[in-house]
Amino acid sequence: MKTGVNSVAALILAAGASVRMGRTKPLLDLGGRPLLERVMQKVGRFSFREVVAVIGCDAESIRRHIAFSDKRFRWVVNRGYKQGQSLSLQRGMEAVKSHHVMVFLGDQPFIMEETIHTVYDEGVRQGEARQRPFVVRPHFRSVPGHPVFFGHVQQMDFTGLGGDQGAKRLIDDMDDVYALPVDDCMILFDIDTPRDYERANRMWRSENRLP
């Protein structure tokens, strides 16, 4: 891995089976574009060194239907996606070449760009100040959400993670975990169910002043 403190990758996790939704979440239409593509477009506006999306369920269909022309981007397919989000995180971390990684969820398209800037800037600042692993995680009213910034990932061991808990156990065992207050409730809004999807469509129409 490169050791430059400003070498930051974006890792988007979108490999789940969408059981609660009942259909493939990354391909849900949101304002005329697939949901995952909306997330990728937002992430692509930032100066990440690389952008990686981990997919699993219906991976071939997702790659056929999502267009994202960015030379920094590549897909990673997690064939073992049924084992839970932790394996997708492992596969993504194995694929990135950057020193730090900012982890996004593929079903959170409404996170404010200001929030992403805030987490990114704090992560880079912490990375310049220290040489050991750390995490910066945004909190809305003391509740943790995404995106999560992992610093000095080459010193972290993701192999012991399992199930659908993501990096929770790893973070719980770390000394340097920074809770970053943000005024953005969308860090907590995952589009998991049909009701969530209905809400997302209402929000999209409202934000874009559509009927």
Note the pLDDT tens digit of each residue in 141-163.
Answer: 999 999 999 999 989 888 777 66
Q: Which is it for strands 29-30 and 33-34: parallel, antiparallel or unpaired?
A: antiparallel
DSSP string for residues in 54-123: EE-TTHHHHHHH-----TTEEEEE-TTGGG-HHHHHHHHHHH--SSEEEEEETT-TT--HHHHHHHHHHH
Interior CA angle at 8 toward 4 and 10, to 5°? 160
pLDDT at residue number 67:
86
pLDDT at residue number 5:
47
pLDDT at residue number 1:
34
pLDDT at residue number 4:
45
The pTM assigned to this predicted structure is 0.93
Q: Which residues of the chain have pLDDT under 70?
A: 1-6, 162-166, 209-211
pLDDT at residue number 162:
66
**Cβ contacts of 20 within 8 Å, gap of 6 or more:** 192, 193
- Which letter does DSSP use for residue 178 in this model? E
Determine the length of the chain: 211
Residue 31: is it exposed, middle or buried by C-beta count within 10 angstroms (0-12/13-18/19+)? middle
pLDDT at residue number 123:
96
pLDDT at residue number 147:
97
Alpha-carbon gap, residue 78 to 145, rounded angstroms: 23
pLDDT at residue number 87:
87
